Structure 1
Amino acid sequence: EDASLQGQKEHYHRDADKDKCTMPCEMTAKLMRDEKHSLCSNLQHTIVSYTRNTRKLIRDLIDEQQKVSEFLSSQIIELMAKVNTLSSDVQRSNSDIFSVKPMESHGKDCSDIQETLGAVSPKIPSGIYIIQPENTDHLKQVFCEMDYMEVGWTVIQRRTDGLTDFKQMWSQYLDGFGHLPGEHWLGLRQIFNIVNQRNTRFQLHVSLVSQDDTTTYASYDNFWLEDETKFFAIHLGRYAGSAGDAFRGYDQEQNQDTAPFSTSDVDNDGCSPFCTFANKAVESCSVNQNNTGWWFNQCGKANLNGSPLDQDLSTQSHIHWDTWTKNGTLVKIKSVTMKIRRVEIPNLK
């Protein structure tokens, strides 16, 4: 009995201990589950809120970037319009510097006009004059530069701002194109009429200006052209200057003296069937140099009528005078003027 009673007491104590532990453990587990659920719910809510805020921020950034891009595009368009307007204004102002209307004075060429007017006026303005070379039956307007070396120069070519397209065919190079106070080509026929007058000899002067405004020149003391049946082949006398003799180059293959004039549609450049220029095979020097006209000879070191390729407008130096170098590097040329004047022939007095 004592043993049985002792066993009952132990069983009772175990059941009592069990009853005392059951409620707190279940409550603790429930509290832990509730706390876990709350934490998960809060975390999920935080993530959703953060995601929404992030999406809104990205949308706002995209909208802001789009507004900035549209603003910059409008500014660029406006700036380009202003640049075009400014370029036109500059061209007009450059033209206004010189006389736009032809002077009343006539002569055989600008040298003849300067000699005539110099007898009555110490200062003769540069500008557009009317000339009529010997053995011609028509008048022609030309630009006369009267203030260089105090003699009259007839400008036969000028490149300054790129506003005149020198990609022209044979007929345009025959008769001339451009704007006389600005960029222009006088025309092969007119140049021929001037330099082939009787008892005259003409000097050719080439003035070059680099991109950094350095100046240089090349001069030839006897310049004349053959007639149209010989495609106005060029002839040059003795060279003088600081730019180098690019017309004759460094060897006979590069010599453009006596070369006929060529354009993309009238090819006289000597590349038959092709020649090697700048380490590549070339069939037409004119086509290779963007359809411009010049006295090419396989193709040579000079092309003052060169035009930049359409895809290289901002990088390629298009006016070629490849004997003008600095520290072994070709100088990039910004502008050029070709002009001619009469020179005295001692036997004709």
Structure 2
Amino acid sequence: MLFIFGRLLLLLGNMLLVSTEQYKSGIFRINPDRLDTKFDRYRISTFENISPRMCFDKCIRRPRCHSYNYNRHLLRCEMNYQPPYVSSSDFLNEVGFIYVEVDHYRGDPLYDTCLGNPCKPGEICEGTNDGGVVCVKEYEVIDEDDCTNLKKLNIRNESGVYTIYPDKTAEGLQVFCDMTNGGWTVIQRRINGSENFHRNWVEYENGFGNLQHEFWLGNKYLNILTSSGSYKLRVELVDTNGNMYYAEYSTFAIRSSNYILTINGYSGNAGNMMQSNNEYLFSTYDRERYYFHGIGSCASSSGAWWHNPNCGNVYLNRDYSNQLYWSPNNYIKSAMMIQSTT
């Protein structure tokens, strides 16, 4: 009986009772735009254990909140911002969720209970226990999963260090975003040899270095990022004369706990040298995959990489004193970055 009574209360909550003195007009209903569906990838923030009415209020009172997903079983509210464009692939079929767009309720005093209480920039209107409203400082976090979507959120975002929230990293991950040409998540950079890249398996797995200078993002994060959607890779190189070269691959993914590389679709002027690394496992000096005659351990002599049995044609993580190598030339600077294509 208690369980049934609780479910009835939730159903009543879905009718969004008006509780303020100003609008004692009974009840009104929100008609979901989609049932058993949620909007994905454009999250502002998530609230747990709140009622349907509270979820609606939190969204409509935030100017950047375009819509929300609400799960009446989990009492979870997921607020979304307005993307530049919406496609069917942005929606996921999930039983229990409703999807509601709030923009067409704005300006209606029955729904927008803070309409007559404008707040200052950086503040939002919140309800009080006595049915009133008050302006409070907003501590809103944009739960973006990569630099590409951060750029979509605000085209004025500049290159620098940001915190992103890819799947399985609820605590957030700091990355360097190159915000040119749509936004790229930088995964490797070498500029002067200041960082030691002769590292073991665990260090390459977790990442190391300084995001503002030289670093390796971390294989486990490459796996998480590229498992969440489709990505392309761009490699930028500078030789000893200051000439710049690049290679782009339309497909880039890192799979499994062995961090197997999938790479295809070359374009650029540096040469299609990473194709020879396709479908090979990552190697470090303490977890070596191949030994090549005349060279020895590929990872020990040429740096950690997705080496093939012949070691391959690319050594961007080797000892800097030997310069960086992308066959057939040596280079003094490199940057590897990925961009979402979904």
Secondary structure of 1:237's aligned partner: strand
1:142 equivalent to 2:175? Answer yes
1:181 equivalent to 2:212? Answer yes
Which residue type is aligned with residue 289 of structure 2? N
1:235 equivalent to 2:273? Answer no
For residues 189 and 138 of structure 1, the distance between their equivalents in structure 2, rounded to whole angstroms, comes to 15
Q: Is the 8 A contact 1:105 1:130 kept in 2?
A: no
2:146 to 86, 109, 126: 109
For residues 126 and 304 of structure 1, the distance between their equivalents in structure 2, rounded to whole angstroms, comes to 23
The alpha carbon displacement at 1:213 in A equals: 0.5
The alpha carbon displacement at 1:138 in A equals: 2.7
Report what 2:162 is aligned to: 129
For residues 164 and 195 of structure 2, the distance between their equivalents in structure 1, rounded to whole angstroms, comes to 24
1:331 equivalent to 2:333? Answer no
Report what 2:324 is aligned to: 319
Report what 1:190 is aligned to: 221
The alpha carbon displacement at 1:201 in A equals: 0.8
Q: Deviations over 1:54-79 (max 9, x none)?
A: xxxxxxxxxxxxxxxxxxxxxxxxxx
Q: Is the 8 A contact 1:106 1:129 kept in 2?
A: no
Which residue type is aligned with residue 193 of structure 1? I
For residues 155 and 104 of structure 1, the distance between their equivalents in structure 2, rounded to whole angstroms, comes to 22
Q: Is the 8 A contact 2:200 2:284 kept in 1?
A: yes
| Cα distance, 1:193–1:141 mapped onto 2, change above 3 Å | same
Matching of residues 214-293 of structure 1 within 5 Å: 214-228=243-257, 231-248=258-275, 255-269=276-290, 271=291, 275-276=292-293, 280=294, 282-289=295-302, 292-293=303-304
Secondary structure of 1:133's aligned partner: coil
For residues 175 and 211 of structure 2, the distance between their equivalents in structure 1, rounded to whole angstroms, comes to 7
Which residue type is aligned with residue 159 of structure 2? S
Report what 1:340 is aligned to: 338
Report what 1:10 is aligned to: none
For residues 169 and 337 of structure 2, the distance between their equivalents in structure 1, rounded to whole angstroms, comes to 21
TM-score (norm 2): 0.57
The alpha carbon displacement at 1:299 in A equals: 0.4
Report what 1:305 is aligned to: 317
For residues 296 and 139 of structure 1, the distance between their equivalents in structure 2, rounded to whole angstroms, comes to 30
The alpha carbon displacement at 1:136 in A equals: 3.3
| Cα distance, 1:105–1:180 mapped onto 2, change above 3 Å | farther
Secondary structure of 1:225's aligned partner: strand
The alpha carbon displacement at 1:105 in A equals: 4.8
TM-score (norm 1): 0.56
For residues 227 and 174 of structure 1, the distance between their equivalents in structure 2, rounded to whole angstroms, comes to 12
For residues 338 and 145 of structure 2, the distance between their equivalents in structure 1, rounded to whole angstroms, comes to 13
Q: Deviations over 1:2-30 (max 9, x none)?
A: xxxxxxxxxxxxxxxxxxxxxxxxxxxxx
Aligned length: 202
| Cα distance, 1:182–1:106 mapped onto 2, change above 3 Å | farther
| Aligned-residue CA RMSD (Å) | 1.7
Secondary structure of 2:202's aligned partner: helix
Q: Which has the higher helix share?
A: 1
Secondary structure of 1:265's aligned partner: coil
Greater RCO (Cα-Cα under 8 Å, separation 6 or more): 1
Percent of pairs with identical residues: 30
The alpha carbon displacement at 1:129 in A equals: 0.3
Secondary structure of 2:332's aligned partner: strand
Secondary structure of 1:238's aligned partner: strand
2:305 to 294, 303, 310: 294
Which residue type is aligned with residue 223 of structure 1? F
Q: Which has the higher strand share?
A: 2
Q: Is the 8 A contact 2:150 2:157 kept in 1?
A: no
The alpha carbon displacement at 1:331 in A equals: 3.0
For residues 145 and 158 of structure 1, the distance between their equivalents in structure 2, rounded to whole angstroms, comes to 12
Q: Is the 8 A contact 1:104 1:129 kept in 2?
A: no
Secondary structure of 1:288's aligned partner: helix
